[in-house]
Structure 1
């Protein structure tokens, strides 16, 4: 089973559109029945927005929102890595994605977040140790720039 969400692909979380690829027809039928019984359906607005997003992406993949988002995330990842170079006690672990995983060498996630006044998710929320934490790379430009400012000015 592979489950997808338009929000994860394009960043349009308000659409609430998703789909699944299911190899087993019996499992697919059970999943279909579950969705029908446990949802009120998909709003026409969400369907329209999803169709427009997918059409624009298919019509012009070079200038699509997906390409734009990838460029923004790559730029942010590079800028975060540069800011963390000034703090060798912290290591950027993830190369890509909407979240940056960071490990504190001898420090806990609370130490990092308190030291810089930054909010993130502690690693223990994801079943890993307290020395790990996760930062969102999908924040607004203003918030992300403030994150970098706090890292660079300490």
Structure 2
């Protein structure tokens, strides 16, 4: 793994923070005058992670689907400090997409007005409460297991909501610790649990990702199936 490497040559580093699927806050590993950082901030919202400082990177990308869950809008945006990069991005978008549909923009604007009602924190507090409850539920279930383990996430200070905030990640990153469970997704599939294999995230397949940002009915079905899977440990 690269770590604070002085890199010679032109290179772009994509930094997803919080990371997917672990959910921890990470920093670039490359440094140097020819290194350009593109910060993936799609999960940098207070329902998913504590916000220690406002995001202030040179080029940041965001996604409407990750902010509110409205994936059908297919809307994203970027904050770009370099005017030359901004102009080239606008030129490319105009040629590739012509322009964003007006109904998509109107839908997004209507939803954002709801999000910012009051002090703008009601939506984030509600979403965080739901994810926090689900993370606590899964953490409790997996605490009885010697076969599986979850990622470790620590309490952090949140400058936006104020105070220390315990983890409320959007994904559970599960490790199958047995040598026989090299294909962890198959283990979960046998228990009728849909997961994503570690290979989709450049990891070994003894890991799987579980989505916590599901409909309540889906989560309610997940819990007893996880309990049953863990109860079968010998």
Q: Does 1:146 align with 2:205?
A: no
In the alignment, does 2:186 pair up with 1:127?
A: no
2:80 paired residue number: 22
In the TM superposition, residue 67 of structure 1 has moved relative to its aligned partner by 2.8
The Cα shift of 1:102 comes to: 0.9
Which structure 1 residue ranges, 5 or more long, are not aligned? none
Are 1:118 and 2:193 matched, yes or no?
yes
* TM-score under structure 2 length normalisation: 0.60
**Cα distance in structure 1, aligned partners of 2:152 and 2:195:** 15
Matching residue of 1:50 = 108
- Native 8 Å contact 1:10 1:69 kept in 2: no
Shifted more, 78-87 versus 106-115: the winner is: 106-115
Distance 1:114 1:59, change over 3 A: closer
Structure scoring higher RCO (CA < 8 A, sep ≥ 6) equals 2
Instruction: Name the structure with the higher strand share.
Output: 2
How many residues were matched structurally?
A: 153
Deviations 1:64-94 (A, max 9, x none): 2x33222111111111111212322111116
Tell me the alpha carbon deviations over residues 17-40 of structure 1, each in whole angstroms, 9 at most, x when there is no partner.
221111221111111111111114
Kept after mapping to 1: 8 A contact 2:185/2:195: no
**Distance in 1 of aligned mates of 2:94 and 2:112:** 24
Which runs of 5 or more structure 2 residues have no equivalent in the other structure? 1-58, 154-167, 230-234
3-state DSSP class of the match of 1:56? helix
Query: Is the 8 Å Cα contact of residues 185 and 196 (structure 2) preserved in structure 1?
Result: no
Q: CA RMSD in A?
A: 1.8
Moved runs in structure 1, 4+ residues, more than 6 A? none
Separation in structure 1 between the aligned mates of residue 121 and residue 79 of structure 2, nearest angstrom: 26
Match of residue 104 from structure 1: 176
